[in-house]
Structure 1
Amino acid sequence: MKILVTGGLGFIGSNFILKLLQKENGFEIINVDAKLFGSNPHNLDEIKNSGRYEFVSGNITNKNLMNELISKCDSVVNFAAETFVDRSIKDANPFLVSNIRGAFTLMDITTKQNKRFVQVSTDEVFGSLESTTAMEDSKFNPSSPYAATKAAAELLANSYSITYDSDIVITRCSNNFGPRQFPEKLIPKIIILAEQNKKIPIYGNGKNIRDWIFVEDHCEAVLASLLKGKSGQSYNIAANNEIDNISIVTKILEIMNKSQDLIEFVEDRPGHDQRYSMSSAKISKELGWKMQTEFEDGLEKTISWYMENPQIWKNLDSNIFGSTPWKVSN
């Protein structure tokens, strides 16, 4: 099977490609990536000379290029997206272009070429949940411009499934962590700042709750959805592992033998959702997927990876580690 992976130089996309090429069932990959903010060409250095892998520099909004690449493949998995909520608050336009226009371009072409399309989405489309847990058919209530663009792409995908009988599957995942994540995100940011004995900014009171899943487990779920998912269906992917932010910081500092005094509470992000929660009962029952990596095990693997790969983060712009990135000028 030949798969077009979009956004494959990013965090989840690169891990997905590596997982597929480690398997012995003949996957071939074309990776198209626009090399925008958050992409890292070094994420895939180890397979750049593989005969089963091809990289193409390009944007998913480029209709002619996508037409050409999709014609060479059996299916498309769309990881390409602007994903950082804080940046979407400062400037939503890149999120609309990539997350809506780009997704539309891909699903329109895959529909015309009769190819399977997997749209990788997020639990953030459901918004903040006080006590309930979202199922696949729960109401959308996005709070940030980022989440709204991902919800819009899902609605487009649903419309294509209904109107054109497109072969589209949607996956929604909770918060990912693991190797190769861009350091603007919470867990790598904590690790890198702690290693340098620098203050670690925590929004508000640190009690915001997220479900955390190790990236390799997410990639297995996306692969199961690609191979076995029912057309027109969506699948929630969660680890049943809800933890508040301050507990994560405390745990990382404990593993790294760093002082809790590094924690610094700062101004909360506008519209900061209190809690996300999803049930993954459907994908477990229908596709046989199960989480494999316990949170603490994944955390230790992640810390080790960043300590062993300092070249990934040592020369980054200091603004990436700022306490209020939604206010930082470009």
Structure 2
Amino acid sequence: MRVLVTGGAGFIGSHYVRQALTGAYPALRDAEIVVLDKLTYAGSETNLEPVADSARLRFVRGDICDAGVVTEVMRGVDLVVHFAAESHVDRSILGSADFVLTNVLGTQTLLQAALDAEVGKFVHVSTDEVYGSIDEGSWPEDHVLEPNSPYSASKASSDLLARSFHRTYGLPVCVTRCSNNYGPYQFPEKVIPLFVTNLLDGIPVPLYGDGLNVRDWLHVDDHCYGIQLVAEGGRPGEIYNIGGGTELTNRELTERLLAAVGAGWEMVRPVEDRKGHDRRYSVDITKISTELGYRPRIDFETGLADTVRWYAENRAWWEPLKSRAAVTGG
């Protein structure tokens, strides 16, 4: 079996690859894993170092918008797990062109190549942000798409493309939509690693607006576990929400992070709210739970403590990233 993992040197993609190559997913025990990654600022081969010596890993540096490269790596592939995306909301507000190019055109290029290669399954990894904002309750998979940022609009567009390739051509596509991920190897522009690394260095952290925006938190390991369940048993043409079950306001999250590193509220700097800042996200995971047996396995308290510890013990990983990138906040 051959699996193509796009964006496999990024935060979530590299976790999936490491798990696949270390026996976490029995269905992939003997699979060849082909990673296609452009290695933008948020992707690094360092993320794959724990499995770099595996004979089952093949790394290809390339752009998902490059039809020639995509066609080449798609040969003989049985399963595509498509993580590759521009994903930081703040960056999309500053400039949306890269988001449209990678998330929309790149996805179309992959879908066409997968169709031509008669791939057996294509899992398109998306986000709960495509739904917009919800004051109460949780979104089911058939909720209307109302994206509010250039990032989420580009992901919604790619979701619709994925659906169209199933409806029009019969390509066996599934779409997953996750809530906010956290865990080791997350690039330090996202809120949890940004806050943790700032606080470890005695640097104040920025809190948007009144801090009452609500997010559901999902450990990256649970997310990848859910994706693998969809890869193995998801019905083609279907969408599956993957959530973590822990909703916190940004203020509550900040309080927990301050406590985790022994810092006080004086280390928080209120900043002007993000443009178009969605108030609350919440996904209904009934479908994936009922059909595929998914449930989050890592409780937030344990997952957060482990994540903070990882950043404290792995300065050599994140310090170079912060020194060379314009880290803007989550």
The code of the aligned residue for 1:52 comes to R
**Residue number in structure 2 paired with 1:241:** 246
What TM-score comes out, normalization by structure 2 length?
0.96
Q: Distance in 2 between matches of 1:138 and 1:146?
A: 19
Deviations 1:156-207 (A, max 9, x none): 1111111111110100000000000000000000100111111100010111
Q: Is the 8 A contact 2:176 2:241 kept in 1?
A: yes
What displacement does 1:313 show? 2.0
**Residue number in structure 2 paired with 1:78:** 82
The code of the aligned residue for 1:257 comes to G
What secondary structure, in the 3-state scheme, does the structure 2 residue paired with 1:304 have?
helix
Q: Distance in 1 between matches of 2:133 and 2:328?
A: 25
Structure 2 residue runs without a partner (length 5+)? none
Larger mean Cα displacement after TM superposition, 251-260 or 167-176: 251-260
Within a 5 Å distance, the mapping from 1:277-288 to structure 2 comes to 277-288=282-293
The list of structure 1 runs, each at least 4 consecutive aligned residues, that deviate by more than 2 angstroms after superposition, is 315-323
Residues 1:36 and 2:40 aligned together: yes
Q: Is the 8 A contact 2:10 2:44 kept in 1?
A: yes
Q: 2:150 aligns with which of 128, 134, 145?
A: 145
Deviations 1:89-125 (A, max 9, x none): 0110000111000000111111122212110000000
What displacement does 1:260 show? 1.8
The code of the aligned residue for 1:309 comes to N
Q: Distance in 2 between matches of 1:156 and 1:244?
A: 33
Identity between Structure 1 and Structure 2 (%): 39
The code of the aligned residue for 2:18 comes to L
**Residue number in structure 2 paired with 1:9:** 9
The verdict on how the C-alpha distance between 1:322 and 1:218 changes in structure 2, with shifts beyond 3 A counting, is: closer
**Residue number in structure 1 paired with 2:138:** 133
Within a 5 Å distance, the mapping from 1:283-294 to structure 2 comes to 283-294=288-299
**Residue number in structure 2 paired with 1:328:** none
Q: Distance in 1 between matches of 2:142 and 2:207?
A: 32
Q: Is the 8 A contact 1:127 1:273 kept in 2?
A: yes
Q: 2:229 aligns with which of 224, 228, 232?
A: 224
Q: Distance in 2 between matches of 1:203 and 1:137?
A: 30
Deviations 1:65-85 (A, max 9, x none): 111111132111110000000
What secondary structure, in the 3-state scheme, does the structure 2 residue paired with 1:211 have?
strand
The code of the aligned residue for 1:11 comes to F
**Residue number in structure 2 paired with 1:161:** 166
What secondary structure, in the 3-state scheme, does the structure 1 residue paired with 2:278 have?
coil
**Residue number in structure 1 paired with 2:195:** 190
Q: Distance in 2 between matches of 1:70 and 1:82?
A: 21
Q: Is the 8 A contact 2:76 2:117 kept in 1?
A: no
What secondary structure, in the 3-state scheme, does the structure 2 residue paired with 1:313 have?
helix
The verdict on how the C-alpha distance between 1:279 and 1:259 changes in structure 2, with shifts beyond 3 A counting, is: same
Q: Distance in 2 between matches of 1:177 and 1:103?
A: 24
**Residue number in structure 2 paired with 1:60:** 64
The code of the aligned residue for 1:273 comes to D
What displacement does 1:50 show? 0.8
Q: Is the 8 A contact 1:183 1:320 kept in 2?
A: no
| RMSD, aligned CA | 1.3
Residues 1:204 and 2:209 aligned together: yes
What displacement does 1:318 show? 7.2
Deviations 1:183-232 (A, max 9, x none): 00000001001111111000101110000000000000001101111000
The code of the aligned residue for 2:147 comes to P
Q: Is the 8 A contact 1:114 1:167 kept in 2?
A: no
Deviations 1:270-314 (A, max 9, x none): 000000011111001101111100011110110011111101222
How many pairs align? 324
Q: Is the 8 A contact 2:129 2:147 kept in 1?
A: yes
**Residue number in structure 1 paired with 2:21:** 21
Q: Is the 8 A contact 1:240 1:279 kept in 2?
A: no
**Residue number in structure 1 paired with 2:323:** 317
What secondary structure, in the 3-state scheme, does the structure 2 residue paired with 1:317 have?
helix
What displacement does 1:148 show? 0.2
Deviations 1:20-44 (A, max 9, x none): 1111521220001001121122111
Q: Is the 8 A contact 2:90 2:328 kept in 1?
A: no
Q: Is the 8 A contact 1:237 1:280 kept in 2?
A: yes
What secondary structure, in the 3-state scheme, does the structure 1 residue paired with 2:194 have?
helix
